[in-house]
């Protein structure tokens, strides 16, 4: 008797708890979605693999500069219907350099011909798009939405001069109720790797007929203790499969064997660069050199709570970190900080061409709450971004604006103006940090809030 009675009590209580739990999860996602409309999106950058052009996004704007002809490029059709209507969140060239894909908060995935700069095809997504990848054979574009579903579009029949065939996306796999932050194909094209807000990296076998779904999971790479923000493969001719490298909100960069999912090495970049442990600045982007010897790491700017000497501030907080990578020993180790002198430059994205020794960086934001500026972008480039050398003349160094290829014309096009008001840098960095945290970090309920949640549940109605 008592057993039955107790179970009934449980049932009423628990059904509600359970409902609440699920509802919270769903509303959190939905809330995030609407909150995002006023959210700040970081500026993105992508380099053509053979250095023909450079693409930058700021909010909904896609800006292209032709590095060969040294001139600004306008998109073939700049009528409003052809452009993005909301912040672009993902941008990438195909390996051959024939295509560029852009996608984002307007739920559109646009595939551009990187010669004509025609939009060859626009695919509608049901939800906002958070990441894109192009298969190694360039037959497929994959994209991930804010609800953790990965979609695929086949590129059959896509060609310059006959744009806009009707293309629909097919859902191929998912991360249940999570936000996918990054999608990446392995160098040999065998695997598609997806990273999410729930600390997970999933490695899936990319099948011969992917439109039928991606069912076979090769491994999970587990070990990050915060959202995973970015992925890249480090490989070279000696290690053609290379290793996966991931950056996270836990301030670390990890190196993985994707076949087994095993963690090979962790570099605590936040601690090694002396960034405050409490603030846990997130790694925002990674880039590996073509020879697999270096990984460049962009890391969030930390809140300036700890008193540091001015010199130290300048050298630590601005710029990028370089990790040296030893593929045979499966090791990453901190090499140096490349400082950006003169301004609070916290790169939001990195880019480089495959063969290049220039690393391009952008910092910028779609909008700047609380300032007069509507949006801003700043481009910098680092020279000698390759294997460290003993010759100190070949040390990586941030180029002056006058030394940047393309010069003023490039800056004018990609930044929107040759010079950028330096006061907006900090504001943008703070706004971007806040946006990233609210999107990806797990909510930590305060004790009071949790107590309130508990009181409003049915638990307390138990008679003891």
Partner 1 sequence: MFFLKSRPIEASSLHQPIILGKKARSMLESKGNSTFNKSTGLPRKRFYRARAHSNPLSDSHFPVPLSPQHVDYSLHFPQIFPSPDRSGDARRIEFADVGCGFGGLCISLSTLFPEKLMIGMEIRDKVTEYVKERILGLRTTNPGQYQNVSVVRTNSMKYIPNYFEKGQLSKMFFLFPDPHFKEKNHRRRVISPFLLDEYAYVLKEGGIIYTITDVEELGVWMRTCLENHPMFECITDEELEADPVVKLLVSATEEGQKVARNGGQTFQAVFRRVALSG
Residues 26-85 that bind partner 1 (CB under 8 A): 28
Minimum distance of partner 1 from residue 351's CB (angstroms): 23
User: Which of the ranges 220-228, 341-349, 373-381, 413-421 carries the binding residues for partner 1, by CB under 8 A?
Assistant: 220-228
Among 115, 126, 277, 395, binds partner 1 (CB under 8 A): 395
347 binds partner 1 (CB under 8 A): no
Site for partner 1 in 246-285 (CB under 8 A): 252, 254, 261, 263-268, 272-274
For residue 317, give the DSSP letter: H
Paired with 64 in beta bridges are: 55, 73
User: Which of the ranges 2-10, 48-56, 102-110, 179-187 carries the binding residues for partner 1, by CB under 8 A?
Assistant: 2-10
Nearer to partner 1, 75 or 177 (CB): 177
Label residue 209 exposed, middle or buried (CB < 10 Å: 0-12, 13-18, 19+): exposed
Among 73, 76, 82, 177, binds partner 1 (CB under 8 A): 177
Nearer to partner 1, 32 or 136 (CB): 32
Sequence-distant (≥ 6) Cβ neighbours of residue 181 within 8 angstroms: 130, 131, 195, 196, 197, 227, 228, 229, 230, 440
Q: Residue 145 to residues 107, 131, 218, 297: CA-CA distances in angstroms?
A: 9, 7, 22, 25
Nearer to partner 1, 25 or 408 (CB): 25
Site for partner 1 in 130-159 (CB under 8 A): 149
391 binds partner 1 (CB under 8 A): no
Asked whether 217 and 204 are in contact (CB, 8 A), the reply is yes
Nearer to partner 1, 268 or 291 (CB): 268
Nearer to partner 1, 13 or 412 (CB): 13
199 binds partner 1 (CB under 8 A): yes
Contacts with partner 1 by CB under 8 A: the residue count is 72
Minimum distance of partner 1 from residue 334's CB (angstroms): 5
Q: Residue 413 to residues 44, 62, 74, 352, 388: CA-CA distances in angstroms?
A: 14, 10, 10, 18, 32
Minimum distance of partner 1 from residue 349's CB (angstroms): 23
461 binds partner 1 (CB under 8 A): no
The sign of the dihedral angle between the CA atoms of 103, 106, 109, 115 is negative
97-126: b (≥16 Cβ within 10 Å) or e: bbbbbbbbbbbbbbbbbbeebbbbbbbebe
DSSP secondary structure of 238-275: SSSS-EEEEEETTS-EEEEETTTTEEEEEE-HHHHTT-
Q: Residue 258 to residues 31, 108, 131, 269, 326: CA-CA distances in angstroms?
A: 34, 30, 20, 22, 17
452 binds partner 1 (CB under 8 A): no
Among 90, 99, 108, 214, binds partner 1 (CB under 8 A): 214
242 binds partner 1 (CB under 8 A): no
Among 22, 31, 306, 355, binds partner 1 (CB under 8 A): 22
3 binds partner 1 (CB under 8 A): yes
Minimum distance of partner 1 from residue 333's CB (angstroms): 4
User: Which of the ranges 56-64, 124-132, 133-141, 216-224 carries the binding residues for partner 1, by CB under 8 A?
Assistant: 216-224
Nearer to partner 1, 58 or 131 (CB): 131
- Nearest alpha-carbon partner for 323 in 234, 400, 201, 195: 234
Minimum distance of partner 1 from residue 62's CB (angstroms): 32
Minimum distance of partner 1 from residue 427's CB (angstroms): 26
Among 163, 223, 270, 406, binds partner 1 (CB under 8 A): 223
Paired with 382 in beta bridges are: 359, 398
Site for partner 1 in 284-343 (CB under 8 A): 315-316, 324, 331-337, 339
Nearer to partner 1, 20 or 61 (CB): 20
Among 443, 448, 455, 461, binds partner 1 (CB under 8 A): 443
Minimum distance of partner 1 from residue 263's CB (angstroms): 5
Nearer to partner 1, 286 or 337 (CB): 337
Nearer to partner 1, 28 or 417 (CB): 28
**What Rg do the C-alpha atoms of the chain give, in angstroms?**
23
Among 8, 216, 400, 408, binds partner 1 (CB under 8 A): 216
Q: Residue 418 to residues 362, 363, 364, 376, 407: CA-CA distances in angstroms?
A: 14, 15, 14, 12, 9
Give the DSSP H or E segment for 23: helix 2-35
Query: Inter-axis angle of helices 424-440 and 2-35, to 10 degrees?
Result: 150
Sequence-distant (≥ 6) Cβ neighbours of residue 398 within 8 angstroms: 319, 338, 339, 340, 341, 380, 381, 382, 383
180 binds partner 1 (CB under 8 A): no
Helix/strand/coil (H, E, C) string of 380-447? EEEECCCCCCCCHHHCCEECCHHHCCCHHHHHHHHHCCCCCCCCHHHHHHHHHHHHHHHHHCCCCCCH
412 binds partner 1 (CB under 8 A): no
Minimum distance of partner 1 from residue 229's CB (angstroms): 17
């Amino acid at each position: 008797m008592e057993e039955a009675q107790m179970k009934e009590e449980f049932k009423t209580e628990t059904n509600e708890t359970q409902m609440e739990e699920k509802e919270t999860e769903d509303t959190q996602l939905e809330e995030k979605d609407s909150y995002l409309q006023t959210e700040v999106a970081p500026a993105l950058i992508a380099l053509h693999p053979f250095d023909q052009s450079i693409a930058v996004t700021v909010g909904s704007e896609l800006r292209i500069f032709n590095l060969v002809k040294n001139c600004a490029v306008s998109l073939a059709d700049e009528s409003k219907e052809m452009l993005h209507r909301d912040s672009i969140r993902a941008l990438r060239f195909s390996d051959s350099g024939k295509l560029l894909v852009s996608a984002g908060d307007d739920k559109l995935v646009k595939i551009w011909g990187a010669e004509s700069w025609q939009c060859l095809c626009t695919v509608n997504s049901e939800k906002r798009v958070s990441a894109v990848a192009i298969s190694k054979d360039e037959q497929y574009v994959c994209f991930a939405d804010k609800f953790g579903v990965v979609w695929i579009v086949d590129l059959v029949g896509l060609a310059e001069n006959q744009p806009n065939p009707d293309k629909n996306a097919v859902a191929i796999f998912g991360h249940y109720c999570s936000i996918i932050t990054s999608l990446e194909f392995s160098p040999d094209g065998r695997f598609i790797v997806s990273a999410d807000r729930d600390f997970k990296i999933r490695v899936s076998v990319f099948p011969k007929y992917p439109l039928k779904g991606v069912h076979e999971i090769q491994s999970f790479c587990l070990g990050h203790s915060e959202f995973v923000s970015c992925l890249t493969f480090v490989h070279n001719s000696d290690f053609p499969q290379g290793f996966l490298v991931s950056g996270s909100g836990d301030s670390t960069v990890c190196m993985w064997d994707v076949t087994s999912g095993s963690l090979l090495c962790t570099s605590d970049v936040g601690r090694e660069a002396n960034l405050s442990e409490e603030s846990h600045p997130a790694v925002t982007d990674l880039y590996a050199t073509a020879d697999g010897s270096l990984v460049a790491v962009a890391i969030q700017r930390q809140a300036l709570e700890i008193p540091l000497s001015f010199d130290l501030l300048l050298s630590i907080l601005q710029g990028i970190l370089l990790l040296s990578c030893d593929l045979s020993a499966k090791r990453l180790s901190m090499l140096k900080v490349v400082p950006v002198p003169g301004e609070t430059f916290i790169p939001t994205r990195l880019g480089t061409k495959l063969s290049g020794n220039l690393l391009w960086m952008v910092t910028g934001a779609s909008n700047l709450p609380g300032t007069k500026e509507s949006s801003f972008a700043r481009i910098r480039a680092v020279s000698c971004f390759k294997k460290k050398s003993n010759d100190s003349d070949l040390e990586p160094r941030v180029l002056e604006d006058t030394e940047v290829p393309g010069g003023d014309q490039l800056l004018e096009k990609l930044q929107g103006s040759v010079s950028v008001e330096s006061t907006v840098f900090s504001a943008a960095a703070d706004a971007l940090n806040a946006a990233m945290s609210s999107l990806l970090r797990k909510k930590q309920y305060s004790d009071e809030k949790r107590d309130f949640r508990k009181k409003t549940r049915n638990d307390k109605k138990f008679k003891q």
